[in-house]
A and B are shown apart, each in its own frame.
Chain A
C-alpha cells in the first residue's frame, strides 16, 4: 500500500510532534505501508489563517492539494495530524461542493502556476488508514510484546471524527477505532467518556482559564477511570495534555501525572520495538512508571539536561580569602 504523506509543521524534526513521526515510520514498515512525502508542502494554516482571510486560507491548503496531486500519481494522502487532516479534507470537500469557490481558489493558484481539481486527492487520517486499510487482524499478528496489564484511555479529540465529512468512518461523538486498535495490541481499554472532547486547541495561548479547564476535564477523566496513560492521535492534543499538564496542576492545585503517548508509539512497543526508536522519553509527563508495568524500560534522554549555572564563574573577581588558603 502506497500513499503520499503530508507531515505538517508539527511533525517536522525539531518540532513538538516529531516523536509521532518517528514512531509512525517505525510501525508502518512492517505493515507494508509506503509513504511518499509531498514535495515542498506548506502549512495548512491551522485554525489561524481562516480566522483572518478566507480565500488565502483556502488557497494555502489548495496549493498543498495541487502538489499532492502531482505526487507519483497517488490518489490518497495520509495526514497524521488531526488538524492538518481536517483542513485538507474539509477544503477539498467544500471545493467539490461549491464550483464558484473552486473557481476563485483556482484563480489564486494560477498566480503560482498551479491548478487543483477538487476530489483529485483524498486526504485521510493516519489512524483511519491503519485500522481500515491494514485492519486489526494483521496488526494483532505483528504483536510480539502485548500491552497486557496497561490501562489505556483512548483519546481522539475533535478533528479525527468531526465534522462528519464524506468518507469518515467512525462515529463523531463515540469513535471506537482507537479503542479496538489498543485492544488488538493487548491493552486494557477504559471506556473513556471524554474521548472525543476538545483539548482546547490554541486556547493555552489566548485564555488560560478556559484552556486549563478543558485540559483538566480530560486529565481528570482519565485519572478517574484509573488509566495508566492517555493515547492520542494528534500532536496538538499531545502538547496540550502533556506539555501543559503541570501548568494546569498549578492552576487548579491538583497533582495529576498522566503520561500522554501517541498510538503509533504504543503499536511500536507491542511490535517489540525499542522505546528510544519510537521517540519515547521526549514526553514531559514521565511515562516510565506506566511503561514499567509492561516491562518496558525507557532509557534516559540522550541529551543531558543543562548543568545548573554556577552562581559565579571561576574567572570572576575572587572573593576575599586568607593568603595561602586554597578555595575549597
Chain B
C-alpha cells in the first residue's frame, strides 16, 4: 500500500487515487509516453486518453478527471497494462476513477454505472448473476426500443435453451451478505482516511 494511508490524510489527488487502488498501481511513475492511449481499443471514444487523465491527476484536476467519460469506455482488455513501460496498473486505476466518480456523483451520461448497479443487485441478493434479469432490466430502463434490434438473438437463445428464466440463489446467502456488508463498512472507513475529509 502507498505510504500515505497510515500517515494521516493524503495531500494530493494523485495520492488519493493511488491509495484507493488495490495492489501496486505505480501511477506516480507515469512518463507520459502515451502507450496506453495508443493501445486502447476504445481510445477514439474517450474525451481524454489515460495519459491525459494521469497528467490531470498529477495536476490535481479532480473534477475534470472524474467527469471524464474515459473510464466508462474502458473495456478491461489490459492491453495498456501489459504494454506500459512503467508497469502502471492502468486498468485498475480506471476502476478507481469509476468508483470515485460514482461516489462524488460526477460521472458522465454513461449508463455503465447503472448497468453495474443492476448486476450487483443480483449478486447481492442471489450470490449469482442472472443474464436475463440483468439484460432486460437494463434495456427497459435505458434502451426500450433496443430489444427489437436483438429480437432474433433473443428468440434464438430462448428456443435453444440458452436462457434461464429463474435466478439461482446460493445456500450461504446470509454469510455472503454479512461479508459484503462488512466489506463496505471497511471500505467506508478506508475512504474516510484516504480522502481525509477533503473528498
Contacts and interface: CB of A to CB of B under 8 A. Distances in A.
Contacts of A207: 45, 73, 110
Interface stretch (A141-149, A301-309, A315-323): A301-309
Interface in B109-141: 110-113, 115-117, 119-120, 122-123, 127-131, 135, 138-139
A2 interface: no
B162 A205 contact: no
Contacts of B82: 162-164, 172-173
Contact of B130 (A9, A47, A107, A202): A9
A63 interface: yes
B76 to A, nearest CB: 5
A60 interface: yes
Contacts of B81: 162-163
Interface of B: 1, 5, 20, 22-24, 41-42, 45, 72-73, 75-79, 81-82, 89, 91, 95-96, 98-99, 102, 110-113, 115-117, 119-120, 122-123, 127-131, 135, 138-139, 146, 149-150, 152-153, 155-157, 159-166, 168, 170-172, 175-176, 178-184, 186-187, 190
Contacts of B157: 16, 243, 284
A105 B175 contact: no
A305 B179 contact: no
26 contacts: A14-B164, A15-B131, A43-B123, A49-B119, A49-B123, A51-B99, A52-B113, A55-B183, A56-B183, A59-B180, A63-B175, A104-B186, A108-B183, A163-B78, A163-B82, A163-B89, A203-B75, A205-B111, A205-B139, A206-B72, A209-B45, A243-B157, A284-B153, A301-B159, A303-B159, A304-B159
Contacts of A197: 41, 77
B77 A54 contact: no
Contacts of A58: 22, 183
A206 B163 contact: no
B99 A114 contact: no
Interface string A1-45: 000000001101111101100000000000000000000111101
Nearest to A109: B179
B157 to A, nearest CB: 7
The list of the 9 closest CB pairs from A to B, nearest first, reads A14-B164, A112-B175, A162-B78, A111-B182, A108-B183, A198-B77, A55-B187, A59-B183, A48-B119
Contact of A15 (B99, B113, B155, B162): B162
B110 A206 contact: yes
Nearest to B117: A52
A42 B176 contact: yes
Nearest to B181: A111
Contacts of A136: none
B184 A53 contact: yes
A108 B182 contact: yes
A43 B180 contact: no
Interface of A: 9-10, 12-16, 18-19, 40-43, 45-56, 58-60, 63, 93-94, 97-98, 100-101, 104-105, 107-114, 158-159, 162-164, 172-173, 197-198, 200-203, 205-210, 214, 243-244, 246-247, 250, 281-284, 301, 303-306
Contacts of A283: 160
Given A9-B128, A108-B182, A52 B164 contact: no
Contacts of A172: 78, 82
B75 A52 contact: no
Given A40-B172, A43-B128, A54-B20, A163 B184 contact: no
Nearest to B1: A100
B189 to A, nearest CB: 9
Contacts of A97: 23-24
Contact of B183 (A53, A250, A305): A53
Contacts of B73: 207, 210
Contacts of B20: 54
Contacts of A52: 98-99, 102, 113, 116-117, 120
Contacts of A46: 119, 129
A247 B153 contact: yes
Nearest to B168: A12
Nearest to B160: A282
A97 B23 CA distance: 7
A114 B179 contact: yes
